[in-house]
Structure 1
Amino acid sequence: MTLLDDVIEQASDGDASAMLRKLMIVAHRLGADSLLAWVKAELNGYDTKSSVPDYRGPFAVTVKAHITGPFGAQAPSTLTRAGTPDYFGGLFEVSFSEPLAVMEGYATSGDGIVYPWDPLAIGLYNGWIQDGRVPFVEGWGVFSAQRAVSPGTFQGIVDVVRTRALELALDLQADFPEAGEKHGPTVTDPAVQEAVTTITNIIYGSVTGLAQGHTVTQKVRVAAGDLG
């Protein structure tokens, strides 16, 4: 049984983190730096939310709030993005940089996970209410707010990683069944390099740049799946 067999088996029905650790060995033995970087990021978490692949966000989410009004009145509510400045769109979106194991835990959390607004953001939103920029009940304001994420969102992320790892292992196995084994093929073989590059681009999604070097200037967009 090869490492690729193990990846395929665990991607289908098994421990996702164990699957990625096996895939790390495959990537290391292939010498596939971009694939290795993806696996490490999924295992350890991404450095910043701006570096995450598109399947990790940003996602538009519901913002649940606790609002207060005259004479101490209180009520639950939801907040709208309508009227808010475009550069504050992140208040109504979430991206996930946490390790995949954390995503799996969130997926079984029952009611899901909430990300509270910073008090500064609440103050800004109340200012927009007072300025009449956002629609709101007259005389009321926001006391607290949080972005709510359902367990299904996290399960979707885990499923994407599983599926893409499975596709990668199956594609490699079809042409290079010894990939990932000791003394197996590496990316020094042009055919292996092409296969790994294609797979890595599919994993990360849409590509906005394909060249490297300080003398290169490009304007290009390649859609995910557009291998031609």
Structure 2
Amino acid sequence: MADDVVLRDLRNRVLDEDASISGLLRMCVMLSSLTGSESLRSWAQAELRGYNDDVDLPEYRKLALPLYIDSQSGPTLVRGQQISVFAVPRETRSAFDGPVQFRQAIQELAELANSDDGSIAISRPGFAEVAALWTSQLGMFQQVDRIYHQVSRSAIAGMVDVVRTTLVELVADIAVGVPVHELPTRARVNAAVNVNVYGGSQDDNSITVGSNSGVVGQGTGSLQSQTNGVASEHLATLIADLRVASESIADEDDRADVNQAIDDLETSVSVDQPDVAVVDRRVRSLRRLADSIGGALVAALSSEGARLALAAAGVGI
């Protein structure tokens, strides 16, 4: 099977509502191997296997959920009583900090979403200890049996659906403009994961050039001033300086990632009405690469000329 068939199959199946999310994620693992994208591999494998405790979760896997207790007071049993976190002993409130994190594999979440229960009780580390301490502070014949959150099946189904939507957005950004019999670059795939999984939607940063009328060229020195755009001599100089700086990067993969980031920045500032939010994301992406690689790229991004150029686009560095 040709390597490009994986992307074609993924592109064809990702909109099929009957296609298994786990199956689509496994195809992403294969695509990550073919393109060399560790970002895509890490995300797809984490969704398939579950997220380790030391891994930052995407925001869609975090939910703020109400708190409940089951308790006893003499012969009276109380079940499913919703409480405020301020009702628990003050010294234990740190156990309730932050939203509830769902680190399970996507298949486990899908099965929970399809379970017969209307809502699902979820405990967190330390809840049993808090219940025991709280009980010790109550009067005779009073007891806190259990502390837990409750999440509805629909909320879990929503998380699963976000993963499916993210897959659609990823494949769209990865495949747009890529010839049918070719694969996207590692840099393109990494950028799509970083934006869609961790940073929101991504704009279309490809440009098809026909004649030289009203278009923006690609490559060194090709940034053109537009009638209503923010492209300027400062921006053209910055792009040229960044490309010169990228030539000093020894590692071929790092150099390819930087050149892709420079292309993305050039595209974002060269349209008639640049989206400041998009330009800002491109600059921050380039800054992260510069911070990890160092050298001339950091100097080019930190220069007074860079500050003036990006200020013209409404972005600070």
TM-score, normalized by the shorter chain, greater than 0.5: yes
Q: For residue 174 of structure 1, report the CA deviation from its aligned partner.
A: 1.3
- Indicate the larger mover: 7-16 or 203-212: 203-212
Q: For residue 60 of structure 1, report the CA deviation from its aligned partner.
A: 1.6
Q: For residue 113 of structure 1, report the CA deviation from its aligned partner.
A: 2.5
- The correspondence for 2:133, drawn from 119, 124, 136, is 124
Identify the residue that residue 95 of structure 2 maps to in structure 1: 88
CA distance 1:33–1:171, shift in 2 (3 Å)? same
Q: How far apart in 1 are the matches of 2:103 and 2:6? A: 27
Maintained 8 Å contact 2:67/2:85? no
Whether 1:115 aligns to 2:126 is no
Q: How does 1:159-174 map to 2 (within 5 A)?
A: 159-174=161-176
Query: Structure 1: 5+ residue runs without aligned partners?
Result: 131-138, 188-192, 217-227
Whether 1:199 aligns to 2:182 is no
Maintained 8 Å contact 2:61/2:101? yes
Identify the residue that residue 151 of structure 1 maps to in structure 2: 153
Per-residue deviation, residues 181-206 of structure 1 (Å, max 9, x unmatched):
6xx4532xxxxx1x323312223324
Q: Which one has more relative contact order, counting CA pairs under 8 Å at least 6 apart? A: 1
Q: How does the TM-score come out when normalised to structure 2?
A: 0.54
Identify the residue that residue 49 of structure 2 maps to in structure 1: 44
CA distance 1:29–1:50, shift in 2 (3 Å)? closer
Maintained 8 Å contact 1:63/1:148? yes
Identify the residue that residue 22 of structure 2 maps to in structure 1: 17
3-state SS, counterpart of residue 4 of structure 1: helix
Matched letter for residue 7 of structure 1? L
Query: Structure 2: 5+ residue runs without aligned partners?
Result: 200-280, 299-314
Runs of 4+ residues over 6 Å off in structure 1: none
3-state SS, counterpart of residue 212 of structure 1: helix
Q: For residue 99 of structure 1, report the CA deviation from its aligned partner.
A: 0.9
Maintained 8 Å contact 2:174/2:184? no
Identify the residue that residue 186 of structure 1 maps to in structure 2: 185
Percent of matched pairs sharing the same residue? 23
Identify the residue that residue 292 of structure 2 maps to in structure 1: 212
Maintained 8 Å contact 2:69/2:82? yes
Maintained 8 Å contact 1:6/1:19? no
- The correspondence for 1:73, drawn from 73, 76, 87, is 76
- Indicate the larger mover: 197-206 or 146-155: 197-206
Larger radius of gyration: 2
Q: How far apart in 2 are the matches of 1:97 and 1:116? A: 13
Matched letter for residue 74 of structure 1? L
Q: How far apart in 1 are the matches of 2:56 and 2:86? A: 27
